[in-house]
Amino acid sequence: MSGFPKDFIWGAACASYQCEGGWDADGKGANIWDDFCHEIEGHHIFDGTSGDTACDSYHRFREDVALMKAHNIRAYRFSVSWARVIPQGTGPVNEAGLAYYDALIDELLANGIEPMVTLYHWDLPSALQDRGGWLNREIVDAFANYAELLAKRFKGRVTKFMTINEPQCIAQLGYGSGEHAPGLKLGEEKVAQVFHHLCLAHSAAYRAIKAACGKDVQVGAVSCGRLCYPQKDTPENREAAYRASFQLMEKNWAFTFSIFLDPLCLRRYDESAPEAVRRFAATIDPADWDLMEKPDFIGINVYQGYMVDESGAPVELYPGFPRTAIKWAVTPKVMHYGPLNVIRRYGLPVYISENGVSCNDRVHLDGKVHDPNRIDFLHRYLLELRKAVDEGADVRGYLHWSFLDNFEWSQGYTERFGLVYVDYRTCERVPKDSARWYAEVSANNGTNL
């Protein structure tokens, strides 16, 4: 057993809309999540809330960074709110917005924490949505200009960028099922078109960042999707899990790694593409394929995996199977086979850009937040991740989702994913037991697992 490499990064992640608040502070423009949450008629958010204040990290980031340092967080993956820095999505820049991210980055660096910057974690400026959002190809240039602005500004301080987070949710939940902003319910071909524009936008941003910062800056893309793991650890079953992971199923093809990463890395759609994707693909200008840029690394967001048998067929979970508060299955093995399979298909290093668990956390009588379920979950998933590393998987870091409890999209504040509890009445932060446990894992580079 070799264990985690010496320079493995133990960090945490969050996203602008989920933690910042300050929704209209200092010249920020509106974005689609502001609109989606404020639109009471639609009742889009389970508890009727919004990210208007969230964790108020816009004002409390110094306290957050101090807590990160106290808990041995070595890297912080955060996203930039596009409308905070370019209120209309294109055109005039909001200096106060950029100054906020400058201050956050400087505070992280002063505390020995590496900033890892996601450009787009779902909060599109409303002005761009008014022009069709991700359905309008003009967004590709707008995104590249935004990327160039950030790259030039953060040059020398940020060396890892991630272009787009989970295109699967942007396209399917935003334009297909309508569960997420902008809440559209369109057909599969439109969803495929959104994916195509996301791929082109990633690629244009990739080139813009490299042009501004040089080759040494790494530019990744972050994906989620159905990752399968074998019921039995046999070569045949492993192979079946690999195939099932990347197959575009007739239903639910949007929630796969292949729909985003095959175009970028292999410059094609998987042969298993369903009818709707093939129909859309036939309309793509062949020159577009030459525009696709393979990222330097892949961020994998891992929560629950899917068990398959030796034929690749799904194995039903037994009654009472362990589940998290949000009802996702607890499947640690996905952390062993998932990274191995993503690396096998795309040949790129990976970061676990998100992994975590929602629990019914509360402050106990002793004033502390005891969360043994989160510690057990993490322990199990990290032991499996170590198996992947021991088998040679090039995994460079693990970014826990999330550092703070935060706004969980259409679930509002009902799901708590943080290592640190947030009392939303006061924004008081209370580190949970898991924060102290994770601090030890980081300090020992996982040897204490």
- In which element (H, E) is residue 263 found? none
List binders of ligand NOJ among 17-36 (CB under 6 A): 18
Cα separations in angstroms, 272 against 169, 247, 350, 414: 21, 6, 25, 38
Which residue in 56, 188, 354, 384 binds ligand NOJ (CB under 6 A)?
A: 354
Q: How far is the CB of 240 from ligand NOJ (least distance, A)?
A: 27
DSSP codes joined into one string, 119-155: EESS--BHHHHTTTGGGSTTHHHHHHHHHHHHHHHHT
Q: Does 166 bind ligand NOJ (CB under 6 A)?
A: yes
How far apart CA 44 and CA 149 sit, in angstroms, is: 33
Nearer to ligand NOJ, 54 or 277 (CB): 54
Nearer to ligand NOJ, 165 or 218 (CB): 165
List binders of ligand NOJ among 289-308 (CB under 6 A): 301
To the query of whether residue 310 is one of the catalytic residues in this protein, the response is no
Q: How far is the CB of 326 from ligand NOJ (least distance, A)?
A: 7
Q: How far is the CB of 18 from ligand NOJ (least distance, A)?
A: 6
List binders of ligand NOJ among 407-426 (CB under 6 A): 408, 417
Residues composing the chain: 449
Q: How far is the CB of 396 from ligand NOJ (least distance, A)?
A: 19
How far apart CA 432 and CA 388 sit, in angstroms, is: 28
Q: How far is the CB of 17 from ligand NOJ (least distance, A)?
A: 9
> Would you call the peptide bond into 402 cis, given omega within 30 degrees of 0 as the criterion?
yes
Which residue in 401, 403, 413, 438 binds ligand NOJ (CB under 6 A)?
A: 401
Catalytic residue among 107, 148, 293, 354: 354
User: Which burial class, exposed, middle or buried, applies to 396 when counting CB atoms under 10 A from its CB (0-12, 13-18, 19+)?
Assistant: middle
Q: Which residues fall within 8 angstroms of residue 370, CB to CB, at 6 or more apart?
A: 364, 432, 433
Which residue in 16, 126, 163, 165 binds ligand NOJ (CB under 6 A)?
A: 165
| Phi, psi for residue 42 in degrees, rounded to 5 | -75, -20
Do residues 78 and 113 touch, judged by C-beta distance below 8 A? Answer: no
Q: Does 188 bind ligand NOJ (CB under 6 A)?
A: no
Q: Does 15 bind ligand NOJ (CB under 6 A)?
A: yes
Q: Does 162 bind ligand NOJ (CB under 6 A)?
A: no
**Token couple for 246:** 């990347």
| Phi, psi for residue 445 in degrees, rounded to 5 | 50, 35
| Count of residues in contact with ligand NOJ, rule CB under 6 A | 9
Do residues 123 and 52 touch, judged by C-beta distance below 8 A? Answer: no
Binding site for ligand NOJ (CB under 6 A): 15, 18, 165-166, 301, 354, 401, 408, 417
Catalytically active residues are: 166, 354
